[in-house]
């Protein structure tokens, strides 16, 4: 493994990490439902699984920038994840115990991606524009393989086995992490961290993170209840897994061809496109709930609602935050994700029975358009991606 190119090592870890996400995200709420939890309890538990993004990314970002040991944090976190899934499998699944374990799991989960994104961009150096999408796509492949494979597997084994599957995937990520060393050009330990507040006060930065918050708030019904929504109208776990995987295939295509958009359109146009396409996605999802073809079409829009927006976000962070601030810059991006999805999950879970899933997605399609009010505060153009 030590002789593999660094791009292969990085891509392999993205594969493992997103295999965890692809095993967890579509099926965890089905597992909770199988354990006897109602929708309101599932909504709260889903939000707990995300809620540490309010503070955990900033804690881990501070530790990473202070210590310079980003890969060490990744290894600790993947090991702890494996331990959590083992604990969930062996203890009685009461609401309190699952809530506590989800809190611990999400705290360590939030140590991984934000810091590994920094590790990847540091390792790629001046070739990050050329290679980032090619490396990052392996995360999408890992998600597809897991979501489709686990969906088919859960048609023949009980959903109660999900924690054991997650344990195996998390342990694989832990083992693979040892193939990647700390990047040579990343800042080492710092006695005095560069202040972050002056960067966050920039109008363009504030507007971008506010738009991200609105965008992710609209994703809450999808991330927390999409599988349950599809199951209610009669889709099998294989079909559910296939639909989740289609979204990520669309994401891979976007990673491959995003340069077409990034080179031809302004930042304001691109962010507006992401918001409008996301609104269309939730509208189709809610109105045509029982149509497999309509759901298939809606899932392809993931290319814009996540794929393109994520690439824009990576450029914005590297454009506005210095090398010594990257851990915390990535952490702010993750924190906005957590606040948006967690708060949205609580609200969606509370009102799901009263209004139904279709209305929740319709409301999400309207709310996401609020982000258009902030687009004019963004710079018109994205500068070349570089560390400064």
For residues 271 and 56, the model is more confident at 271
Q: What count of other Cβ atoms lies within 10 Å of the Cβ of residue 210?
A: 16
Q: How far apart are CA 291 and CA 84, in angstroms?
A: 37
Cα–Cα distance measured from residue 175 to residue 314, given in angstroms and rounded to the nearest whole number: 27
Predicted confidence at residue 1, as pLDDT, reads 59
Residue 186: pLDDT band with limits 50, 70, 90: low
**Residue 121, pLDDT score:** 77
Q: Which range (190-194, 245-249, 375-379) has the least confidence? A: 190-194
Contact between 166 and 24 under an 8 Å Cβ cutoff? The reply is yes
pLDDT at residue 26 tops 60: yes
pLDDT(262) > 90? no
> 286 or 194: which carries more pLDDT confidence?
286
- Under 8 Å between Cβ of 327 and 120: no
Mean pLDDT value across residues 347-366: 91
Dist. CA 317–CA 205, nearest whole Å:
9
- In this predicted structure, which of 26-40, 62-76, 79-93 has the lowest mean pLDDT? 62-76
Q: Which CATH architecture has domain 6-377?
A: Up-down Bundle (1.20)
Q: What pLDDT score was predicted for residue 185?
A: 65
In the predicted structure, residue 206 carries a pLDDT above the cut 90:
yes
CB neighbour class for 239 (10 Å; exposed up to 12, middle 13-18, buried from 19):
middle
pLDDT above 90 for 15: yes
The residue length of the chain stands at 388
pTM of the model as a whole: 0.74
> What is the spatial distance between Cα 58 and Cα 193, in angstroms, rounded to a whole number?
13
CA distances from 133 to 200, 312, 331, 388 (A): 26, 12, 20, 21
Cα-based angle 149, 254, 381 (whole degrees, multiple of 5): 150
213 has a pLDDT exceeding 90: yes
Structural tokens at position 290: 């029982």
Q: How high is the mean pLDDT of the chain?
A: 85
- Residue of higher predicted confidence among 37 and 282: 282
**The dihedral of CA 46, 48, 54, 56: what is its sign?**
negative
Scanning the structure block, which residue is given the tokens 């995937």? 169
């Amino acid at each position: 493994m030590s002789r593999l190119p660094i791009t292969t090592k990085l891509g392999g870890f993205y594969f493992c990490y997103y295999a965890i996400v692809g095993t967890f995200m579509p099926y965890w709420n089905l597992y909770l439902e199988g354990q006897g939890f109602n929708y309101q309890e599932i909504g709260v538990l889903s939000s707990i699984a995300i809620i540490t993004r309010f503070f955990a990314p900033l804690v881990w970002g501070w530790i990473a920038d202070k210590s310079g040991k980003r890969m060490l944090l990744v290894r600790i976190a993947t090991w702890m994840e494996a331990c959590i899934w083992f604990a969930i499998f062996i203890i009685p699944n009461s609401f309190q115990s699952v809530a506590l374990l989800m809190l611990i799991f999400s705290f360590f989960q939030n140590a991984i991606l934000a810091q590994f994104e920094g590790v990847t961009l540091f390792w790629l150096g001046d070739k990050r524009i050329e290679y980032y999408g090619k490396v990052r796509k392996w995360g999408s492949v890992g998600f597809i393989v897991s979501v489709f494979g686990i969906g088919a597997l859960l048609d023949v084994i009980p959903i109660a086995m999900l924690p054991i599957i997650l344990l195996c995937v998390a342990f694989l990520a832990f083992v693979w992490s040892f193939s990647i060393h700390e990047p040579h050009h990343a800042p080492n330990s710092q006695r005095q961290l560069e202040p972050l507040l002056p960067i966050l006060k920039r109008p363009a930065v504030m507007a971008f993170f506010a738009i991200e918050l609105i965008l992710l708030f609209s994703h809450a019904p999808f991330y927390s209840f999409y599988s349950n929504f599809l199951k209610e109208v009669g889709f099998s776990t294989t079909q559910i897994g296939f639909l989740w995987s289609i979204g990520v295939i669309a994401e891979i295509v976007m990673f491959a061809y995003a340069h077409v958009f990034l080179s031809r359109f302004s930042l304001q146009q691109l962010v507006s496109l992401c918001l409008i396409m996301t609104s269309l996605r939730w509208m189709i999802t809610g109105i045509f709930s029982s149509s497999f073809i309509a759901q298939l079409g809606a899932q392809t829009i993931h290319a814009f609602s996540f794929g393109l927006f994520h690439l824009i976000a990576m450029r914005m962070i590297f454009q506005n935050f210095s090398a010594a601030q990257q851990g915390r810059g990535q952490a702010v991006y993750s924190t906005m994700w957590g606040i948006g999805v967690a708060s949205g999950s609580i609200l969606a879970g509370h009102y799901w029975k009263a209004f139904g899933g279709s209305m929740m997605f319709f409301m999400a399609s309207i709310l996401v358009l609020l982000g258009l009010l902030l687009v004019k505060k963004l710079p018109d153009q994205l500068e070349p991606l570089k560390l400064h």
